[in-house]
Structure 1
Amino acid sequence: MKTLTNIRYFFEKHGFAVSSRLADRLGMKAKNVRLFFIYVSFATLGVWFAVYLTLAFVLKLKDMVYTKRTSVFDL
């Protein structure tokens, strides 16, 4: 249990200071940097979902256009 606590404190001290370091370097508030990362993560998720839906639509259209006919009388 003590090991997990030590690991958590290590990451809180060294790993979670990324946004505050970046904000200091850019001269802005850490809150704004965190909000930017949150908005970008939601936007990229939405973009890939839209790409997925577009590809599914294209594949469905392809299947409807290029249906394989078994005989001449299927017209």
Structure 2
Amino acid sequence: MAKRYELLYFFQKRGFEVCRRIAERWGIRARVVRTSFIYLTFVTLGFGFALYLFLAFWLKIKDLLYTKRTSVFDL
């Protein structure tokens, strides 16, 4: 049982933060986005999970390509 909580904590701490970033962009709560992904996964038999992984991949690539620089000297 402890291994389960360790795994859950690992994913919560070091996840892709897809739901939080979508919620910030749309101006809604992250909990609403998370539950929407869960319902979408159950209703469409896995499409919501696939969509979540696609968005996580896309946001990771976007972060790697576009870095925020505060000044010209941060190159």
Give the TM interval when normalised to the shorter protein: 0.3 to 0.5
TM-score of the superposed pair, with normalisation by structure 2: 0.41
TM-score of the superposed pair, with normalisation by structure 1: 0.41
Which protein is richer in helix relative to its size? Answer: 1
